[in-house]
Structure 1
Amino acid sequence: MNNLTEQFNNPQATQQFQGGALAMASASREMEEVKGQIFMAKQFPRNIFAAEQRILDTCKRPALAAVAMYRYPKGGTNVTGPSIRLAEAIAQNWGNLSYGIQELEQRNGESVAKAFCWDLETNVRQEKVFTVKHAIGLKGGKLKQLTDPRDVYEKVANDGARRLRACILGVIPGDVIDKAVQQCTDTLAGNSQGPLKDRVAKMLEGFKNHYRVTQEMVEEKFGYSANSFTEFDYVELVNIANSLKDGMSKVEDWFNKEDAKKADGGLGAEFKKEVKDDAAANANVPANEG
């Protein structure tokens, strides 16, 4: 009895007791939530055909199709695959999935986190535990330590996105993923936002403004003039842009910087001239009078 009284009179012991009680209560609550999710999944199982149709309908949205794929060079070849945005869209429409990223602990300037995806119907689960250093790389190989909690959170979220994508794609059937990718490609190729030459010109202008990649550098990579670009070439340009935007690759991985020295400032001029000529022809005005 005296030992018990001494234990509760000790602030450190009391704090440890309260911490243990809170941990047990939290674990119990999480367990009940999981049971509830499993119960609802069993009560309302997914209609596979309806879920697949929802996924394909979502992939018909041009905004999603534009960010659905990533590309980056590796070992002399191009690696391509579904992006985290497409994986999330598929998971949302597949239904009865529990997925996300959890930070397990922070210690010595690093975080231990977990990405997971769990099919509540079939009990198929993918899980990846990884460590994230609280630092970002700078030019010259230097590292900048992160101390702001928001910066740390964003670093963990960014590093966890690739693991989360892998977990989702490991749970969803492969044929569903393939159909979604094909539908996104078809949507992007059949995008009716404007003529192909206008969309290519806009893409080339974006490469120059954001990445200092000229039309000549793009043509050098593809091996032929931008006038000869097809819908498939346009899709590849979009995939490269997504890769650069997401930080999956660098400009040097795709384009030869030496070509920039020989490039002039007439990016897309030929495209713009063709658009002007078309407009003049439609107005029955000779192009040289415009």
Structure 2
Amino acid sequence: MNDLVASPFGSRAVAVSDTAGARQDQSRELAETQVKYLMAQQFPRDVVANMDKILNAFTRPTLAEQSQYQFSRGGSDISGPSIRAAEAIAQQWGNMEHGLRERSRGIGPDGVPFSEVEAFCVDLEGRTTSRIQFIVRHWRDTKQGGYKLKDERDIYELMANMGQRRKRACIIAQLPGDVVDAAMSQANTTLHAKADTSPEAIQKIIAAFEPFGITKEHIEKRIQRRLDAIQPAQVVTLKRIYASLRDGMSQPSEWFEMADVAEAGASTTLKDITTKHAAQKAASKAKKPQQEQFEQVGSPAVDAIIAEIDKASDVDVLDLAMDGFRGDTEAISAEDMQRIESAYQNRREILLGA
């Protein structure tokens, strides 16, 4: 009497969202979101006090130096607030929430796994949201054709690298334009006030530009005066030019008259250092044992690359430089590559913890 006939339509499958654990997570997230909005309404931001906090934050030289990116395009200089600047402004502006979240994973038609990632910024007080969704393939391109990423740390770092710029765009979209402009003006004022024009600082400037084939004469011709008479504003400009060259976003010829540099054969980027290193190894291969040529030819180029990594002042800058370098790994031995990756990971942890 109690036997039931099986339904011709089959049994109802229980969706993941219908499980008890999923319902509990959804309820908790809903309650947390409601509390955040409620607290933002009960404790609205004091725009005058918060603006003072933002300006005070950008009086710190370290933050001021990391606050802007700059590169040359179409004959003009392009600059803007960095991700560190955007995060600092959002923190002091108050009642804002921002971040990255991995929404799902899948496998593409080409068999390469991918992650669907979302960058977001929420103004809890204004109840407005900016979101950017994008796909991150678990793939790293190289000259040999690229390979799939399997290590979770590599996948996370790839998503973080691609997501930082989108998160910056979301944060800037939620901030008043005049607040961002005031913060950047304060950063410029701090840099001008803290710019070091001492003889020791001038020697450091000359030494920093030397790997790019830029001499003291090139710098003096650009600033239209002797280096010992350089102005603080010009020191700030040179620092930004150096950062642009170091990150491979521009070439020396875009900033200086470099007619004689090509003849000197000077390297300009990490890529040029790697290419020169490969040529040196090929030329010495027939003359020296493998171990000897590694010690005498490999170390200088690798040390130069590690030195550039250690100079990176921002995670965006570091990731961009490392992404550009990974495409030239055929010129570097496995031992050298391990040293470079270790230096990259150490510097990234330091910057994230700063």
Aligned with 2:97: secondary structure?
A: strand
The yes-or-no answer on 1:90 pairing with 2:89 is: yes
Compared CA separation, residues 258 and 32, structure 1 to 2 (3 A):
farther
Q: Does the 8 A contact of 2:197 with 2:231 survive in 1?
A: no
Q: 1:13 to 1:250 in 2, by over 3 A?
A: same
Answer whether contact 1:55 1:94 (CA < 8 A) is retained: yes
What TM-score comes out, normalization by structure 1 length? 0.74
The aligned counterpart of 2:286 is none
AA in 2 matched with 1:133: R
1:30 Cα shift?
1.1
Q: 2:194 maps to which residue?
A: 191
Query: Cα gap change, 1:260/1:126 in structure 2, threshold over 3 Å: closer, same or farther?
Result: same
Q: Distance in 2 between matches of 1:116 and 1:93?
A: 18
Helix, strand or coil for the counterpart of 2:28? Answer: helix
Q: Deviations over 1:203-249 (max 9, x none)?
A: 332344xx54533595288364661543222212222344456x472
Specify which of 197, 206, 222 is matched with residue 204 of structure 1: 206
- Partner residue, 1:168: 171
Q: How far is 1:2 from its partner?
A: 7.2
Q: Distance between the aligned counterparts of 1:45 and 1:171, measured in 2?
A: 16
Alpha-carbon offset, residue 183 of structure 1: 0.5
1:127 aligns with 2:131: yes
**Which of residues 107, 111, 117 is equivalent to 1:113?**
117
- CA distance 1:254–1:226, shift in 2 (3 Å): farther
Given that residues 216 and 263 in structure 1 are in contact (C-alpha distance below 8 angstroms), is that contact kept between their aligned partners in structure 2?
no
| Inter-partner Cα distance in structure 1 for 2:234 and 2:144 | 35
Q: What is the DSSP-based 3-state SS (H/G/I as helix, E as strand, rest coil) of the residue aligned with 1:121?
A: coil
Question: Residues 216 and 260 of structure 1 are in contact (CA less than 8 Å); yes or no, is this contact kept in structure 2?
Answer: no
* C-alpha distance in 2 between matches for 1:83 and 1:101: 17
Secondary structure class of the residue paired with 1:177: helix
Instruction: Tell me, yes or no, if structure 1 residue 22 matches structure 2 residue 10.
Output: no
Report which structure shows greater RCO (CA 8 Å, sep ≥6).
1
Kindly indicate whether the alpha-carbon contact (under 8 Å) linking 2:70 and 2:244 is maintained by their aligned counterparts in 1: yes
Q: Tell me how far 1:54 sits from its aligned partner.
A: 0.2
| Paired position in structure 2 for 1:62 | 61
Q: 1:200 to 1:80 in 2, by over 3 A?
A: farther
| CA offsets 1:132-191 (integer angstroms, 9 cap, x no match) | 2223343x4843432211011011111111111111111111111111001001101110
2:339 matched residue in structure 1: none
Contact 2:16 2:22 in 1 (8 A): no
Letter matched to residue 80 of structure 1: S
- In structure 2, how many angstroms separate the alpha carbons of the residues matched to 1:205 and 1:161? 31
Question: Secondary structure of the equivalent of 1:190?
Answer: helix
Q: Note the C-alpha offset of 1:200.
A: 3.8
* AA matched with 2:174: V
Which of 147, 150, 154 does residue 153 from structure 2 map onto?
150
- Give the gaps of 5 or more residues in structure 1: 4-9, 265-290
- Partner Cα separation in structure 2 for residue 75 and residue 251 of structure 1: 13
- Whether the aligned pair in 1 keeps the contact of 2:213 and 2:261 (CA below 8 Å) is no
Three-state SS of the structure 1 residue aligned to 2:63 is helix
% identical equivalent positions: 33
- 1:98/1:117 contact within 8 Å kept: yes
User: What is the RMSD of the two structures over their aligned residues, measured on CA atoms?
Assistant: 3.3
Counterpart of 2:69 in 1: which secondary structure? strand
Aligned length: 253
Q: Distance in 1 between matches of 2:121 and 2:77?
A: 27
**Structure 1 residues 61 and 79, CA gap change in structure 2 (3 angstroms):** same
> How far apart in 1 are the matches of 2:35 and 2:253?
48
Which stretch shows the higher mean deviation, 60-69 or 219-228? 219-228
Match for 2:215: what amino acid? Q
Shift of the alpha carbon at 1:257?
9.1
Aligned-partner Cα distance in 1 for 2:34–2:207:
53
Alignment-derived partner of residue 77 in structure 1: 76
* Counterpart-to-counterpart distance in 1, 2:66 and 2:175: 19
**More deviation, 105-114/28-37:** 105-114
- Evaluate the alpha carbon distance shift between residue 33 and residue 248 of structure 1 in structure 2; reply closer, same or farther with a 3 A threshold: farther
Q: Matched residues in 1 for 2:59 and 2:145: separation?
A: 43
3-state SS in 2 of match to 1:154: helix
Between the aligned partners of 1:2 and 1:218, the Cα distance in structure 2 is: 93
**Is 1:239 the equivalent of 2:240?**
yes
The change in CA–CA distance for 1:132 and 1:220 in structure 2 (over 3 A counts) is farther
Q: Distance in 2 between matches of 1:84 and 1:252?
A: 25
Normalization by structure 2: what TM-score? Answer: 0.62
Deviation for aligned residue 1:196: 4.7
